[in-house]
Amino acid sequence: MGPQLPIYLDNQATTPLDERVLDTMMPYLRGSFGNAASTEHRFGWVAEEAVKQAREITARCIGAESGRNIIFTSGATESNNLAILGAARQYARKGRHLITVVTEHKAVLDPCLAWEAEGGKVTRLGVDRDGLIDLNELDEAITEETVLVSVMAANNEIGVLQPIEDIGNMTRAHGVLFHTDATQAVGKIPIDVDKANIDLLSLSAHKIYGPKGAGALYVRRKRPRVSLKPLQYGGGHEQGMRSGTLNVPGIVGLGAALERASETMEEEAERLRYLRDRLLTGVRAGLEGVEVNGHPQQRLPGNLNLYFPGVALEKLIREIYADIAVSTGAACTSASPEPSHVLLALEPEGKRAMASVRFGIGRFNTTEEIDYVIERLTRAKALRSLARRPVPSL
């Protein structure tokens, strides 16, 4: 008897809600439904205390000094927008120059576009074929007008880990703010905002088995003290940086998800690396020419982005989609194919961008599931051109 189908291998897109996280959230969806800003009665006190605890957990999980460094948001997209546009507008008198990377998530690239529309200047660093930036290029790009450098800790498509400690040391030496979109990294690899000299850090609950619609932004309070122009006004919540009634159940879920991920990070990373390497070895044993996109070692434990040369990707996806949930390296519709900007950055020719698949392995995946995926891929009609030929007997 095989594994239960379909098999979910798209954990970089989102993760299932852990039952233990849901159990922690449930009281705040029912009896303890108070508004955390309503501090005149017990219902509000209970909600306020739950939010406070989640702040402290969040701060502790990223090495922050205290919960006062944490601003709760609706997710990493809002956190990225607040970090980038909030800092750019706040420090516009110092300079109007931002630096980012071509392989960033759209939640970083689009706020940078918005800043250019406001008259700002943005430098977008390229990457090598492994997806890594050149630190010398970053150093040369920083000018007296630069106020912020934004480089993601782990790439959402190819899983590549950027050298954030080196980047943080460089930005600190230049007196420039450092923001990292750590959505894919937090809870999966160690992150320490002080050790890496991170001034702003974005994260989201639904990437670590928490609820959708809950996220946070770390904002450094001293050495240096970072200020941000808010994106929305009304009520002065979250130290005036993010007005709006707090999503108490979501925030509680974020805290619970972070706590669980931090407690099991080391052993879970080892398990995910084993499953990832098992998948890669199995696929390569049955198919020729398969390549890994991004750095082969400097990557997230559960990410494997594979290039299948010469393969019609839409045929492969149609063949396996009922059994296996994966993400392609190209966000395509039948009307207008749009190659992945990340894979195009690795290889501008475009072949890799149109024939790659991302396998996102997560907490609830098993060895049995990985073995089933290997079998389905190596037997897929769409991959027949890559199938290894049996060695003839002599």
Does the annotation count 332 as an active-site position?
yes
pLDDT of residue 331: 45
pLDDT of residue 389: 62
19-263 to CATH, choices 3.40.190.10, 3.20.20.70, 3.30.300.130, 3.40.640.10 = 3.40.640.10
Full 3-state SS string of 141-182? HCCCCEEEEECCCECCCCCEECCHHHHHHHHHHHCCEEEEEC
Nearest CA-CA partner of 289 in 214, 240, 352, 239: 352
Query: Judging by DSSP bridges, how do beta strands 338-339 and 177-181 pair with one another?
Result: unpaired
Partners of 333 in the beta sheet?
Answer: none
Nearest CA-CA partner of 340 in 330, 348, 350: 330
pLDDT of residue 390: 58
Nearest CA-CA partner of 305 in 138, 130, 168, 139: 130
pLDDT of residue 392: 47
Is residue 69 within 8 Å of residue 146, measured between CB atoms?
no
pLDDT of residue 329: 57
CA-to-CA distance for 186 and 195, rounded, in angstroms?
A: 15
Domain ranges within the chain, ordered by starting residue? 7-15+264-384, 19-263
pLDDT of residue 332: 42
CB atoms within 10 A of CB 196: 24
pLDDT of residue 118: 97
In this chain, the answer to whether the domains covering 7-15+264-384 and 19-263 adopt an identical fold is no
pLDDT of residue 3: 93
DSSP assignment string, 195-224: TTT-SEEEEEGGGTTS-TT-EEEEE--SSS
Active-site residue identified among 63, 332, 341, 363: 332
Could you identify the residue written with the tokens 């609820």? 211
Side chain identity, residue 394 = L
Is residue 215 within 8 Å of residue 79, measured between CB atoms?
yes
Nearest CA-CA partner of 260 in 63, 12, 57: 57
Eight-state DSSP code of residue 299: B
CA-to-CA distance for 116 and 109, rounded, in angstroms?
A: 11
CA-to-CA distance for 255 and 5, rounded, in angstroms?
A: 31
Query: What pLDDT tens digit does each residue of the chain (394 aa) get?
Result: 789 999 999 999 999 999 999 999 999 999 999 999 898 999 999 999 999 999 999 999 999 999 999 999 999 999 999 999 999 999 999 999 999 999 999 999 999 999 999 999 999 999 999 999 999 999 999 999 999 999 999 999 999 999 999 999 999 999 999 999 999 999 999 999 999 999 999 999 999 999 999 999 999 999 999 999 999 999 889 888 999 999 999 999 999 999 999 999 999 999 999 999 999 999 999 999 999 999 999 999 999 999 999 998 899 999 999 999 999 854 443 344 678 999 999 998 888 999 999 999 999 999 999 999 999 999 999 999 998 865 444 4
Distances (CA, A) of 248 to 32, 60, 219, 234, 362: 10, 19, 20, 18, 26
Superfamily the domain 7-15+264-384 falls into: Aspartate Aminotransferase, domain 1 (3.90.1150.10)
Query: Judging by DSSP bridges, how do beta strands 146-150 and 177-181 pair with one another?
Result: parallel
